[in-house]
A and B are shown apart, each in its own frame.
Chain A
Amino acid sequence: MDPLKTEIVVLGAGPGGYAAAFYAADREKKVILVDEGRRLGGVCLNRGCIPSKALLHATHLIREAKASSQHGITFGDPRIDLEQMRSWKESVLDKLGQGLGGLAQKRGVEVLQGRGHFEDSQTLRVETPAGQKFINYETAIIAVGSKAAMPAAFDLGNPRVMTSTEALELEEVPDELLVVGGGYIGMELGTVYATLGSKVTLVELLDSILLGADADMVRPVMRYAQEAFKEVRLKTKVLKMATSGKQIKVTMESDKQRIEELYDRVLVCVGRAPNCKDLGLQNTKVQMDDRGFVKVNAQQRTADPAIYAIGDVVGGALLAHKATKEGRVAVEVITGEASSFQDVVIPAVIFTDPEVAWCGLTETEAKEKGIAVEVAKFPWAASGRAMTLDRTDGVTKLIIEPETERILGVGIVGAGAGELISEGVLAVEMGATARDLAGCVHPHPTLSETLMECAEVFYGYPTHTFVRKKTGSLLRKAAG
């Protein structure tokens, strides 16, 4: 059989891969999109962002309903129909997946289901359900993503020890659930299961949850977790697990004490590993770093001139929107445009309760790198909107370059922070100053006002809170 010929083949149809394939097709390239999944969308759509957010939304209502007794509205105990919840979640994924299929078709992107394997720098072999196919391409984009890591010591072959993938299937609501790892995945899924009724114990090796977020951003989430979870154990190491009847016996070490406990299920969220194995990369010139991520430059080029790579498989922040942006950069470079993934602001959102979101420089990073910054904070207790939502457990802050008043970073913790952060991204990307933000009228009463008032805090004249110690100088005030 003659090999298929194409200008671009994209391997992996996650948010990096499909975005790259669509963009390349929009730029008049002949594109084949290869993915082993039945449904397009990769981890994001099938086993990550989307299903977890569907479950978080569904369970959020339970928490809202409980809290509303404070507001004079009391509901009875919720009846949870897992079967229905699962099928609703699946219906969301199906709709999105079909949508992607339709978008591919309209653009003339050929979708090939099957596992791809590089034969050489110019040829991809795909094991499709209908047999082997060979693709002869000019340029390949690797976008195969990552998968939840399962350390060998925890891998008992027992379905009661889950990664995020299985946890999102929502097979049952275990009575006692252990979550190993206090990163964003562990915290989000811990929240889902705790709301559904599991007694959640969360253990984290480090001395704080949500590594990467500033301490003041983590605090409200920690407060929530301490209340909603059975326990949060920091500086605790899980040593081993063993099957014990219908339970898992877990041995851990905390405070030099050895603890042995039984759990109905264990959720392991200790990081993600790139899917580089068995791709035939050894038949190309593609190089990997010592952690197994594909090495690329700012143009997303690998060491092989015919092959680009984007998304989780190249490391950095393992985020869908980062992959999408990298996909755009790769396609622009391939089509001859000067483009590079440099100085790109990648926002991070953690969908806990409350949500945490930040972009640009964090306080932690500024400290580590010794960058002198001024930080302006606006507590949500001073926001009328937060009060009406009964969600005053939030903080908005700006990280500001003192000499120029330029906004280098924005951090928000609070209800809906994930939606609010986009204004921060715009500010940082546009090189806005705190003055710019303070000068833009924000609608009242909204949570977005906290960004404007935060900038006003910097100059010392916020309307809804009082700053005794002015961060910005009085001269600036006069200039304003």
Chain B
Amino acid sequence: MDVKLPRLGEGADSGVVVNIMVSEGEQIQKDQTILELENEKAVAPIPSPLSGTIQKIHVKEGDEITVGQVLISLAEEAAAPQPAAKAKAEEFPQRAEKAGAPVREAPEEAGLAQEYRYEPKSGFPPPAPPSIRKLATDLGIDLTRVQGSEPGGRITLNDVRAYIQRLQQIAFAKKPAVTREAPAREPESIDFAKWGPVSKKRMSPLRRTVAERTSEAWATVPHVFQLDEGDITAAMELRKKYAPLYEKKGARLTLTGLVLKAAIAPLKKFPIFNASLDETTQEIVYKEYFHIGVAVDTESGLIVPVIRDVDKKNLLEISKELAELAERTRQRKISLEELQGGTLTISNLGGIGGAHFTPIVYKPQSAVIGLGQGELKAVVRDGKVEARLMLPVTLSYDHRLIDGADGARFVRELVQALESFKEADFNLEGK
């Protein structure tokens, strides 16, 4: 059979093949990754719906492909038939509106059921007569958003009318106070070549995503940056002591791992740093889980995988998971889900160098921690000058949710957590 690119979820109907993970003649298992597809949100692995032998691969790396395009031809094993579309409808990660965003409930008031979506198991388009489909095409209306009132969910002219009226109501309803539209400015075309030779390269989908997300965050989140330094002399000594032990267990003890661990106490003490603003309802959503994103520098740009439930893991588990996740991210073998649901982000540029920098809040999170390179500095302790290893720490946060005093308190708490690591924290058994 021919394996085609399934629907990946809303809007994600095309992408660029970045990695083909199989070869012709290879025996593959059901759910084994065939290739990786880069779209605007992330790199998604495309699993095989069936086990079998690959007869032919129809795409190559760099191809832009769309839903329904044949990826490979598979000679099936004579096993019980596996329903292929099940994978299509249920097993594929749906593209979230914003990776990492909390799932938004449809607002109930004013009957604004704009989140309705027709998603039948069969994958067929919504039932509507050709005349209505034509009308929808003319008006540019997505019929999967229109709730049909007739048997079987069939959409009538009245349903389309009601839908448009609802859209109008929403459009003219009071807008959330926080969304202030930036004045629209037409991008200007500049001929750089008139000043000297240039070369051009198309922005990759990932680059475009980073650009979109950071400018959106910059435009809508009033940033405050709180700069501090943490004395990590003791922590680094402990790290040196325990590193070989961790290595034996197959883990690398890193500063990022320590900061992940240290961030939990301040997050618990100041839950607003683990919260998000729901701009549609003007509610603050406090999360009772601690999923921390770690910025990873990959060949093609910034990707932020998320470590789940950091508060429930010991340093060994965190270190192991961090290394494994970072490696898979660099190889672009990370799934969409693993990029979603983060509550705070840590960006450590210390490995490269430099002191303080001011990271941009990863919306809809409320804060991000930026780490620079630790440096030996002359510090006065008990009236004496000592050489201490000082780590530049920046906290960027969303002033809509958090005021300066809390920002300072959080940073102090974090620095203290970093400065008070004990042997017990490195214990392989403890939490």
Contact = CB atoms under 8 A, between A and B. Distances in A.
Asked if A and B are interacting partners, one says yes
Contacts of B123: 369, 371
Contacts of A405: 151-152
Q: Give the interface residue-count category, chain B.
A: 20 to 34
B128 interface: yes
Contacts of B151: 404-405, 433, 435-436
B84 A370 contact: yes
A371 B152 contact: no
Contacts of B85: 369-371
B56 to A, nearest CB: 11
B212 to A, nearest CB: 26
B138 A406 contact: no
A403 interface: yes
Interface stretch (B129-137, B226-234, B328-336, B406-414): B129-137
Nearest to A345: B130
Interface in A364-412: 367-373, 401, 403-406, 408
Contacts of B45: none
Nearest to B143: A343
A401 B121 CA distance: 9
A429 B125 CA distance: 11
Contact of A403 (B121, B128, B140): B121
Contacts of A340: 137
Interface string A337-370: 1111001000000000000000001000001111
Given A340-B137, A404-B127, A431-B129, A372 B121 contact: yes
Interface in A61-90: none
Given A338-B138, A367-B81, A370-B84, A404 B125 contact: no
B154 interface: yes
Contacts of B88: 370
Contacts of A367: 81
B387 interface: no
A404 B151 CA distance: 7
Q: Give the interface residue-count category, chain A.
A: 20 to 34
Nearest to B49: A370
A174 to B, nearest CB: 39
Given A371-B85, A435-B151, A404 B120 contact: yes
Contacts of B129: 429-431
Interface string B70-92: 00000000000111111110000
A401 B84 contact: no
Interface in B320-375: none
B122 A433 contact: no
Interface centre among A339, A343, A367, A371 (most CB of B within 10 A): A371
B29 to A, nearest CB: 17
Contacts of B82: 370
Contacts of B84: 368-370
Contacts of B1: 368
Interface string A296-329: 0000000000000000000000000000000000
Q: Chain B interface mostly helix, strand, loop or mixed?
A: loop
B142 to A, nearest CB: 13
Contacts of A371: 83, 85, 121-123
Contacts of A368: 1, 84
B120 A401 contact: yes
B62 interface: no
Contacts of B81: 367, 370
A406 B152 contact: yes
A367 B49 CA distance: 13
A188 to B, nearest CB: 28
A338 B140 contact: yes
Given A368-B84, A370-B84, A433 B152 contact: yes
Nearest to B4: A369
Contact of B137 (A339, A408, A431, A436): A339
B131 to A, nearest CB: 9
A35 B49 CA distance: 46
Interface in B77-121: 81-88, 120-121
B153 interface: yes
Interface in A201-249: none
B394 to A, nearest CB: 48
Contacts of A432: 127, 152, 154
B86 A370 contact: yes
B192 interface: no
A401 B152 CA distance: 9
A405 B151 CA distance: 8
A372 B83 contact: yes
B124 interface: yes
Contacts of A370: 49, 81-88
A373 B152 contact: no
A401 B128 contact: no
Contacts of B121: 371-372, 403
B83 A401 contact: no
B133 A372 contact: no
A431 B140 contact: no
A302 B1 CA distance: 28
A429 B124 CA distance: 12
A433 B154 CA distance: 9
Contact of A401 (B49, B122, B130, B150): B122
A336 B121 CA distance: 35
A134 to B, nearest CB: 36
B345 to A, nearest CB: 39
Contacts of A337: 138
A429 B49 contact: no
Contact of A431 (B49, B87, B128, B138): B128
Given A367-B81, A370-B86, A431 B152 contact: yes
A339 B135 CA distance: 10
Interface centre among B49, B122, B140 (most CB of A within 10 A): B122
Given A343-B133, A371-B85, A431-B154, A406 B127 contact: yes
Nearest to A404: B152
Contact of B122 (A338, A373, A431): A373
A367 B83 CA distance: 8
A373 B130 CA distance: 23
A30 B122 CA distance: 44
Interface string B148-181: 1011111100000000000000000000000000
Contacts of B120: 401, 403-404
B177 to A, nearest CB: 36
A361 B127 CA distance: 14
Contacts of B122: 361, 371-373, 401, 408
A134 B133 CA distance: 40
Contacts of B83: 370-372
Contacts of A430: 127, 129-130, 154
Given A367-B81, A371-B122, A436-B151, A431 B86 contact: no
Given A370-B81, A404-B127, 12 more contacts: A339-B137, A370-B82, A371-B83, A371-B123, A401-B152, A406-B124, A408-B124, A431-B126, A431-B128, A432-B127, A432-B152, A435-B151
20 contacts: A343-B133, A361-B124, A368-B1, A369-B85, A369-B123, A370-B81, A370-B82, A371-B123, A372-B121, A401-B122, A404-B120, A405-B151, A406-B124, A406-B154, A430-B129, A430-B154, A431-B128, A431-B150, A432-B154, A433-B154
Interface of A: 337-340, 343, 361, 367-373, 401, 403-406, 408, 429-433, 435-436
| Closest 7 pairs (CB-CB, A-B) | A431-B127, A370-B83, A370-B85, A404-B152, A370-B84, A406-B152, A433-B152
